[in-house]
Amino acid sequence: MKNRHVGYLIIGIAFIFLMIVISFNNALETIVNSTCSHGSACPMHVTLKFQETISYGLIGLLIVIGLLVSFFMKDEYATILRKEDLKDSTSEKKRKEKIGSLKDHEKIIMDLIIRENGSVYQSDIIKHTKLSKVKVTRILDKLEGMQLIERKRRGMTNIIILK
C-alpha cells in the first residue's frame, strides 16, 4: 500500500475517533453538570477539561501523523526498485564482459542457455552442441567458476540456470 493511502487511512480513523470523542465528551459534560452541586468549582469540571484537552490533543497528533505520512514520506518500494535496477544493470554489464571473453564452445553453450530463457538441462546441451559429456561438464565447471551459471541436480541430470 502506498504511503499516501496509509496517511489518508490514518486521517480517516482520526476523524472517526474525533466524532466518538466529541459525543463522549458531550455526554460526560451533561453528566457532570447534572450531578455536580458545587458549580464550576467542582473538581469534576477540572477533570473534564483535562480529559478534553488530552483527547483532542491525541486526535490532533493522529491527524498530523497522517498528514506527514501522506505528503512527506517516500514510498519505500520505489527506492528498492531503483537499487535493484542498478544491481541488474551492473551485473548485466559484468556478465556481458565475461561472455565476451569466452572461447567458442563456451559461447555456444551460453547462447543456448540464454536462448532457452535462462535454464536448460545438461543433457539438452549435449544433444544440441553434439559435444561429449566430459567436454560439456568441463565447460560448465568453468562457467560455474566464473559465476555465469548455476547447476542444480534434478533426478539423473542437472539443470543449468543462468545467474
Q: What's the rounded Cα separation, in Å, for the pair 161 and 163? A: 6
Show the beta-strand stretches assigned E in the chain. Answer: 119-121, 149-154, 157-162
Q: 155's torsion region: left (phi>0), alpha (psi -120 to 50) or beta?
A: left
Q: What is the pLDDT of residues 42-66, one digit of tens each?
A: 888 888 888 999 999 999 999 999 9
The pTM of this model reads 0.44
Q: When comparing pLDDT for 93 and 86, which is higher?
A: 93
- For residue 67, the SS3 value is helix
Is the CATH number 1.10.10.10 carried by domain 92-162?
yes
